[in-house]
Structures are given as C-alpha cells and as structure tokens.
C-alpha cells in the first residue's frame, strides 16, 4: 500500500516551522547571506547544498543562535527568535567536528543537555538509555570519546543533539569525516532516525549525492542566494538554471539558438554551422539564445544511426571512464564538440560493445534535455 | 645517533657550565666538616641541624604560604587574562593589552620590586606576607597566562558552542567544559608560578616587612655572615623542591597528550 506523499510545501495554508523573511548577513564588506526568504516545514529533512563559502553554514549558525542576522527576521513556530540566546532555543546542532566533550563519557555527553534542564534523575537515565538504543551505542556508554571510532563518535554527536527532543535539529556536514562506505550506511541511518523521532532536520552539505539521498527538499545555494529549492528529483530532472544543472550530477550543455520553424510544444535548435538542428520540448520565441542541458545517461550510444529518433549525432569515442556499474563515454563530434554519454553495464565484462576510436551515433529524444536561459 | 666529538664536547661544557656549581653545592651539603671547602667525609648531620633551626623553619613556612597564595591568585588572574585575549577576538587595544600582560616577563625585577615598594608606601600598606603575595602575583601571572593561552589557542571553540547549544549558560559552559579540558595547562601554570615565587629574592626583599622573611632572603642574609654547611643543605632542599615542581609541571602538560595518543592508537588497532 502506498503512503500519502509528504509535501507540506505544496499546501498553501500550511504553517512553516521555520520562516526566513528576507534575511541578510554581512561580515564587513562580505555578504554571506543576501535577502533570503525560505520556509521549512515540520518533519522535513531539508538540505542546504552549495560550494564552500556559499553561506550555508552561516544560515545554520544563525538558526542555532551563534550569529545574528544583519537584517530580516527568522520565525520559529511563528515566534521571532532573534532575542533568544542559543542556550534557550528549542534548536540543537550537530557539529561538523562532532564537538564531543573529551573529558566526559559517552553517557555523560548525551546527558549533558538534559542535566542543564534539571531533569529528574530517573527520567534522565531513561532518556539517555533510549538515545543509546536509538543510535546502537549501548555497549559504548562508559567509554570516553577518544576510545571510540569515527562512526561511533558521529552517532554520539547525533544522540546528544537529539536527547533534548528539539523542534529543529541542525546538522553541519554530519558525515564529512566518514569514509564513503560508512557515509552511505549512515545516510540511511539518519533518515531512519529522522522518521522515527519525527524531528525536523536541516542538513548542510557540499556533497550533492548526500543531499539527494537524505533530503525531502534540497536548496541549492550560491553566493548567499537560493538558486533553487525543490525535491531531489525536480532538482535533478528540472533544474531552473545552468548553475543547478551543472552543480548536481553530470550534464552536457549545448549552446543553441531557437530557429523560426517550430512545431507545437517543440522547438528546432540551431547549434552551429553545418550541424543538423536539434529538437527539444519547450515554447520559446525564434532567435532566443538558450542552453540545452542533457544528462549523459539520457543519451543512447549505437553503431548504426537509429531510426525515428528526434536527435542523432555522429562522433568518435576518445575516452571511456569505467566505473563498474556504469561507463561514461567521451565522444568527439566531427567539429570537435565533446559530449558525454553513460551506459549501465548490465552485462559482465566479457564482451564490450564499444572501444576507443570507435565511431558511434549518439541519440536522444526531444524530451531528454531541458532548455535553460543562458 | 652517535654524536661527533665536537658535539660531545660542547654538550659537556654547556652542561658543566650550567650545573657544576649546583653539583658542588649539593656534594658539600653532605660534608662532615664545618668548613665549607674542606671535605671530611659523608654525613647528613646538617640536614638534622636544619630541622632544629627555628628561624629557617619559620622562613620556610612563610615562603610556602606566600608561594601557595600568590600562585593561586596568579592562576585565577592569568587564566582569565588568557581567556579574554584568546577569545575576545580583535578589539581596540588588544595588542596593547597582550603586550602589557607579557611585559613583566622581560621587566627587570629590580624595577618591578621598586615600583611595588613605592606603591605600597604610597598606599600606606603595612609590608609583610600580603605585600609579597601581591608582588609575586603580579609577575607570575604573566607566566600562567602564557601557558594557558597557548593551550586555549588550540582549543576547539565548537566545544563551547556545543555546550551553549545544549542549554548551558556561558558561565556553566566555562566551568563544565572549558576548564576541565584546559586543566592540565592551568595546573602547569600554577606549579610554574609556585616555583617562581619560591626562589624569588629581589622582589621579595623590596616588598617584605620585618614580620615576613622568606627563605631566599634568609639564605642571602645568612651567607653574608659566612657560608655554612647548613645553608648548603637548605639550598639543596630548595633545588629539589623547585626541580620537582618544574618536572611535575611539564609532566602534567605532556601526560594528557601522550595518554590520549596511546589510547587512540589502541582503538585504531582493535
């Protein structure tokens, strides 16, 4: 049985948990966040994604209360949080360095926040044990942080920040220090814990795969601005700009001009003298200069020219990146333009269909690419 | 690694220059004879004599009280100064402030002593144990501050932020998180201040009064009447106390780091 889709951002009357109202933050001359407005809803797993220096960490530190916005308001549950100091906010943070207290045991680290609330002894013990169970750390309760592994430290940091049952949990590059395999396992663990506790998570990351895996919505940031806020599949398949298309995953960008003779909902694109025009979905006036973005896996590779396909170009394979599950072919067209095509390796290695210097046809449908403003 | 003959000789000469006088003093403290320069066989009798000497015992008690009080006061002030200088970031006059805290490191003791004496006279404070304590605090505080601020410079500030984030007030965060973590440096600073106070002669003689004679003052004035083997014994004991203090101070700072490194290694192996 399928579950109802979780999408409060599509409900017009839904009240957000967090609301940024044209928030700006400047450090001297430098603008870290530029008049940014954003709603984050309860139970969301929201990812802030962007290159380093794009302002994502500053946003998180403003939410935690370590920085104050230069202008604008931030509402948590409808309340302006500006006058609330970090130690009084119903917001907890998991630090990139984990920031575990080295002189306290795992148990005491998790109990730290609860003790500050003055929680009764037996309730406190029960809560800490619950957190230890949730993060599978029961065996390590008496250890000190330097006596456990990186992955365990990460779980202690998570347990500690969840112990106070915050309305909002901030995670600053939570998996940055783990190796790739452990990181992937931990991503699913995070999602699981987020679902179990029903806490709203805001995660900061520069790893697009991580953001796509865990998040219900992803905000792509650049230079203190939100470029696109959308679900992972929309971000990937319907990017709103060349920046987003290029930042998330692999993409071929073809510069082109809309030619006058179009069909309904389809345009013909000139992309260089002597090249067969391309077809793509969209309605644009003739003469518009656009970028056609096509993901490499949407392009088919074949030896013979396929019939009945909207777009087909001829070229030579100059490079093959074999990644095990997929292979990426770098194909040079006759006039030097390079395109990337990806093929899933569904069969074992015994017989490769294509090799270096092979001449192949690349083809894609008119719905495969997306037209973006330059 | 083998040392070349040149290195061996320079090492020997260097250490001889530093420690020969003290070695001779220690050896003669076990001399049987009353004459300091004539060896007449091994004996510990001067140490026994020392324990019967009321004046020396009084001076020792004063010295220890002064050292304990001044080093404690210097540790509190020095730690606070270090905390402000490392944490407050850039504020107007920060360079001036840090310069002023470290200036006593290079200030001639005679000048420190004299200026304090003039201050105490000007304020009409009776000189005695308390004035020596204040004087020692002023010059040993900067040593504590140096030791503690070098530890704070490598301190991960996100630990304090985590404490705040979990609901601790800035005050609680300092006492529950920062202080326990920098404790080895604070203890090392205290021991350093303690030993500095123990062997100070110049500043103590400027700021002391008739009621308070510290050991270095006592030794200095006794030597003017002629060196006795008893003084040798006393000096040997002071060397021992100061050496132990300095060694413990450096061990305390090193041990924490070494222990952590070893345990981390053990975790990696397992």
In terms of CA atoms, which chain A residue is nearest residue B182? Answer: A103
Q: Is A101 on the interface with B (CB under 8 A)?
A: yes
Closest CA to A309 of A283, A338, A279, A287: A279
- Whether residue A112 and residue B163 make contact (CB cut-off 8 A), yes or no, is yes
DSSP alpha helix (H) spans, B90-228: 94-102, 109-122, 129-153, 157-165, 170-173, 179-198, 202-207, 215-224
> Is residue A191 domain-shared with residue A320, that is, in the same domain?
no
Q: B16 Cβ partners below 8 Å, 6+ apart? A: none
Q: In what order do the strands lie in the sheet with A326-333?
A: A300-302, A359-364, A311-322, A326-333, A338-344
Indicate the pLDDT class of residue B1, thresholds 50, 70 and 90.
low
Q: A335 Cβ partners below 8 Å, 6+ apart? A: A272, A274, A275
pLDDT on residue A1: 47
pLDDT on residue A137: 92
- Show the domains of chain B with their CATH numbers: 26-234 (1.10.3720.10)
Q: Given CA atoms A14, A15, A18, A24 in this order, what sign does their dihedral have?
A: positive
Q: Is A317 on the interface with B (CB under 8 A)?
A: no
Q: Give the domain-ending residue among A192, A219, A246.
A: A246
> Is residue A33 domain-shared with residue A136, that is, in the same domain?
yes
DSSP A48-75: EE--TTSSHHHHHHHHHTSS--SEEEEE
- Whether residue B161 and residue A99 make contact (CB cut-off 8 A), yes or no, is yes
Torsion of CA A206, A212, A214, A215, to 10 degrees: 90
Q: In what order do the strands lie in the sheet with A79-80?
A: A30-40, A18-27, A71-76, A79-80
- Whether residue A87 and residue B162 make contact (CB cut-off 8 A), yes or no, is no
Q: Which two tokens stand for residue B144?
A: 């504590």
Closest CA to B116 of B146, B143, B139: B139
DSSP A312-334: EEEEEEEEEEE-SSEEEEEEEET
Neighbours of A334 (CB within 10 A): 11
3-state secondary structure B207-270: HCCCCCCCHHHHHHHHHHCCCCHHHHHHHHHHHHHHHHHHHHHHHHHHHHHHHHHHHHHHHHHC
> Is residue A204 domain-shared with residue A276, that is, in the same domain?
no
Task: Evaluate whether residue A166 is within a structural domain.
Answer: yes
Cα–Cα distance for residue pair A169/A88, rounded to 1 Å = 14
pLDDT on residue B84: 86
Q: Are A164 and A89 spatial neighbours (Cβ–Cβ below 8 Å)? A: no
Q: B217 Cβ partners below 8 Å, 6+ apart? A: B59, B201, B204, B205, B208
- CA distance, residue B187 to nearest chain A CA (Å): 16
> Is residue A261 domain-shared with residue A280, that is, in the same domain?
yes
Task: Evaluate whether residue A1 is within a structural domain.
Answer: no
Q: Is B261 on the interface with A (CB under 8 A)?
A: no
> Is residue A273 domain-shared with residue A362, that is, in the same domain?
yes
DSSP A72-112: EEEEETTEE-TTS-GGGSSEEEE-TT----TTS-HHHHHHH
Task: Evaluate whether residue A3 is within a structural domain.
Answer: no
Cβ-Cβ contacts under 8 Å, A102 against chain B: 181, 260
Q: Is B257 on the interface with A (CB under 8 A)?
A: no
Task: Evaluate whether residue A2 is within a structural domain.
Answer: no
Specify the pTM. Answer: 0.81
**Chain A contact probe: residue of B90, B160, B167 with most A CBs at under 10 A:** B167
Given the structure tokens 């020392």, which residue do they identify? Answer: B50
Cα–Cα distance for residue pair B129/B65, rounded to 1 Å = 8
- Whether residue B166 and residue A164 make contact (CB cut-off 8 A), yes or no, is yes
Sort strands A45-49 and A200-205 into parallel, antiparallel or unpaired: parallel
DSSP state of A346: -
Size of interface A-B (CB pairs under 8 A): 71
> Is residue A178 domain-shared with residue A74, that is, in the same domain?
yes
- CA distance, residue B266 to nearest chain A CA (Å): 8
Q: Is B165 on the interface with A (CB under 8 A)?
A: yes
Q: Are A340 and A328 spatial neighbours (Cβ–Cβ below 8 Å)? A: yes
CB-closest option in A92, A117, A146 to B165:
A92
**pLDDT tens for the 374 residues of chain A, in order:** 466 778 888 888 888 999 999 999 999 889 999 999 999 999 999 999 998 888 899 999 999 999 999 999 999 998 999 889 999 999 999 999 899 999 999 999 999 999 999 999 999 999 999 999 999 999 999 999 988 988 899 999 999 999 999 999 999 998 887 888 888 888 998 899 999 889 999 999 988 889 999 999 999 999 999 999 999 999 999 999 999 999 988 999 999 999 887 677 888 888 887 788 888 888 888 888 999 999 999 999 998 888 888 899 999 999 999 888 888 999 999 888 899 999 888 877 656 678 888 899 999 998 999 999 87
Q: Which two tokens stand for residue A92?
A: 């907890």
Q: Which two tokens stand for residue A183?
A: 């990181």
- CA distance, residue A136 to nearest chain B CA (Å): 18
Cβ-Cβ contacts under 8 Å, B177 against chain A: 101
Task: Evaluate whether residue A30 is within a structural domain.
Answer: yes
Given the structure tokens 């330097």, which residue do they identify? Answer: A146
Q: Given CA atoms A190, A191, A192, A195 in this order, what sign does their dihedral have?
A: positive
> Is residue A164 domain-shared with residue A287, that is, in the same domain?
no
pLDDT on residue A115: 95
Task: Evaluate whether residue A265 is within a structural domain.
Answer: yes
B132-166 in b/e burial notation, b at 16+ Cβ within 10 A? bbbbbbbbbbbbbbbbbbebbeebeebbbbbbbbb
Cα–Cα distance for residue pair A166/A89, rounded to 1 Å = 9
Per the structure, the complete domain to which residue A275 belongs is given by: 250-372
Q: Give the domain-ending residue among A199, A228, A246.
A: A246
- Whether residue B165 and residue A86 make contact (CB cut-off 8 A), yes or no, is yes
What is the domain count for chain A? 2
- Whether residue B165 and residue A102 make contact (CB cut-off 8 A), yes or no, is no
What distances in angstroms separate CA B162 from CA A25, A93, A170, A232, B76, one per listed residue?
22, 7, 12, 30, 25
* Helices A150-162, A121-134: inter-axial angle, 10-degree rounding: 140
Q: Give the domain-ending residue among A246, A272, A296.
A: A246
Q: Which two tokens stand for residue A262?
A: 């179009």
> Is residue A154 domain-shared with residue A171, that is, in the same domain?
yes
Q: A132 Cβ partners below 8 Å, 6+ apart? A: A106, A107, A110, A138, A141, A159
Neighbours of A158 (CB within 10 A): 24
3-state secondary structure of A233: helix
- Whether residue A103 and residue B161 make contact (CB cut-off 8 A), yes or no, is no
- Whether residue B159 and residue A116 make contact (CB cut-off 8 A), yes or no, is no
> Is residue A265 domain-shared with residue A353, that is, in the same domain?
yes
> Is residue A183 domain-shared with residue A55, that is, in the same domain?
yes
The domain that holds A336 is classified in CATH as: 2.40.50.100
Indicate the pLDDT class of residue B251, thresholds 50, 70 and 90.
confident
In terms of CA atoms, which chain A residue is nearest residue B159? Answer: A99
CB-closest option in B164, B177, B264 to A86:
B164
Cα–Cα distance for residue pair A317/A298, rounded to 1 Å = 17
The domain that holds A182 is classified in CATH as: 3.40.50.300
Residue pLDDT, tens place only, B215-248: 899 888 888 887 778 888 888 888 888 888 888 8
pLDDT on residue A106: 96
**Which of A 109-168 lie inside 8 A of B, CB atoms?**
112-113, 116-117, 144, 146-149, 160-161, 164
Task: Evaluate whether residue A363 is within a structural domain.
Answer: yes
Task: Evaluate whether residue A43 is within a structural domain.
Answer: yes
pLDDT on residue B39: 82
3-state secondary structure of A365: coil
- CA distance, residue B84 to nearest chain A CA (Å): 18
pLDDT on residue A350: 55
> Is residue A200 domain-shared with residue A167, that is, in the same domain?
yes
- Whether residue B267 and residue A148 make contact (CB cut-off 8 A), yes or no, is yes
**Chain B contact probe: residue of A109, A116, A124, A176 with most B CBs at under 10 A:** A116
Cα–Cα distance for residue pair B215/B234, rounded to 1 Å = 9
> Is residue A162 domain-shared with residue A258, that is, in the same domain?
no
């Amino acid at each position: 049985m399928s579950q109802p889709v979780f999408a409060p951002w599509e409900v017009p009357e839904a009240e957000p948990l967090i609301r940024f109202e044209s928030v700006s933050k400047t450090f001297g001359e430098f603008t870290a966040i530029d008049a940014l407005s954003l709603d984050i809803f309860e139970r969301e797993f929201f990812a802030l994604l962007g290159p380093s220096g794009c302002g994502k960490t500053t946003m998180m530190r403003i939410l935690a209360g370590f920085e104050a916005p230069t202008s604008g308001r931030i509402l948590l549950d409808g309340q302006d949080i500006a006058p609330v100091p970090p130690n009084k906010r119903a917001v907890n943070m998991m630090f990139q360095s984990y920031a575990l207290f080295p002189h306290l045991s795992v148990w005491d680290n998790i109990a730290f926040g609860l003790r500050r609330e003055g929680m009764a002894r037996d309730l406190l013990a029960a809560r800490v044990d619950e957190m230890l169970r949730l993060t599978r750390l029961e065996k390590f309760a008496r250890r000190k942080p330097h006596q456990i592994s990186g992955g365990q430290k990460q779980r202690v940091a998570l347990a500690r920040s969840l112990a106070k049952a915050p309305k909002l949990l901030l995670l600053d590059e939570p998996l940055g220090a783990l190796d790739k395999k452990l990181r992937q396992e931990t991503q699913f663990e995070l999602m699981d814990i987020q679902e179990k506790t029903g806490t709203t998570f805001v995660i900061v990351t520069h790893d697009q795969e991580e953001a796509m895996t865990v998040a219900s919505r992803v905000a792509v940031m650049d230079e203190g601005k939100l470029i696109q806020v959308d679900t992972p599949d929309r971000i990937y398949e319907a990017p709103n700009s060349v920046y987003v298309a290029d930042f998330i995953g692999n993409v071929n960008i073809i510069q082109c001009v809309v030619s006058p003779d179009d069909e309904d909902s389809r345009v013909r694109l000139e992309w260089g003298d002597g090249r067969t025009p391309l077809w793509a979905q969209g309605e644009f006036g003739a003469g518009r200069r656009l970028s056609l973005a096509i993901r490499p896996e949407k392009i088919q590779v074949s030896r013979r020219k396929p019939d009945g396909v909207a777009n087909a170009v001829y070229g030579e394979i100059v490079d093959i990146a074999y990644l095990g599950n997929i292979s990426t072919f770098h194909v040079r067209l006759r006039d030097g333009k390079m395109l990337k095509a990806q093929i899933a390796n569904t069969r074992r290695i015994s017989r490769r269909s294509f090799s270096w210097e092979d001449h192949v046809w690349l083809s894609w449908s008119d719905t495969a690419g997306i037209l973006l403003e330059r | 690694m083998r040392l070349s003959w040149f290195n061996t000789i320079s090492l020997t000469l260097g250490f001889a220059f530093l420690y020969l006088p003290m070695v001779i003093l220690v050896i003669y403290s076990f001399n049987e004879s009353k004459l300091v320069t004539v060896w007449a066989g091994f004996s510990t009798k001067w140490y026994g004599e020392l324990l019967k000497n009321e004046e020396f015992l009084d001076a020792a008690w004063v010295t220890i009280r002064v050292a304990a009080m001044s080093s404690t006061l210097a540790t509190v002030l020095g730690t606070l100064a270090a905390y402000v200088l490392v944490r407050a970031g850039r504020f107007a006059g920060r360079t001036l402030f840090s310069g002023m805290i470290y200036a006593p490191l290079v200030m001639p003791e005679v000048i420190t002593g004299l200026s304090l004496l003039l201050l105490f006279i000007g304020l009409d404070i009776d000189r005695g144990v308390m004035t020596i304590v204040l004087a020692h605090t002023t010059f040993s505080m900067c040593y504590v501050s140096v030791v503690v601020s070098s530890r704070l410079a490598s301190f991960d500030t996100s630990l304090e932020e985590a404490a705040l984030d979990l609901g601790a007030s800035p005050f609680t965060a300092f006492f529950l998180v920062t202080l326990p973590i920098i404790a080895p440096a604070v203890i090392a600073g205290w021991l350093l201040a303690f030993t500095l106070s123990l062997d100070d002669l110049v500043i103590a003689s400027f700021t002391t009064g008739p009621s308070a004679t510290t050991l270095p003052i006592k030794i200095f004035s006794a030597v003017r009447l002629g060196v006795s083997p008893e003084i040798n014994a006393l000096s040997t004991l002071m060397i021992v106390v100061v050496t132990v203090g300095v060694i413990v101070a450096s061990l305390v700072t090193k041990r924490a780091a070494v222990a952590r490194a070893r345990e981390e290694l053990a975790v990696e192996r397992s």
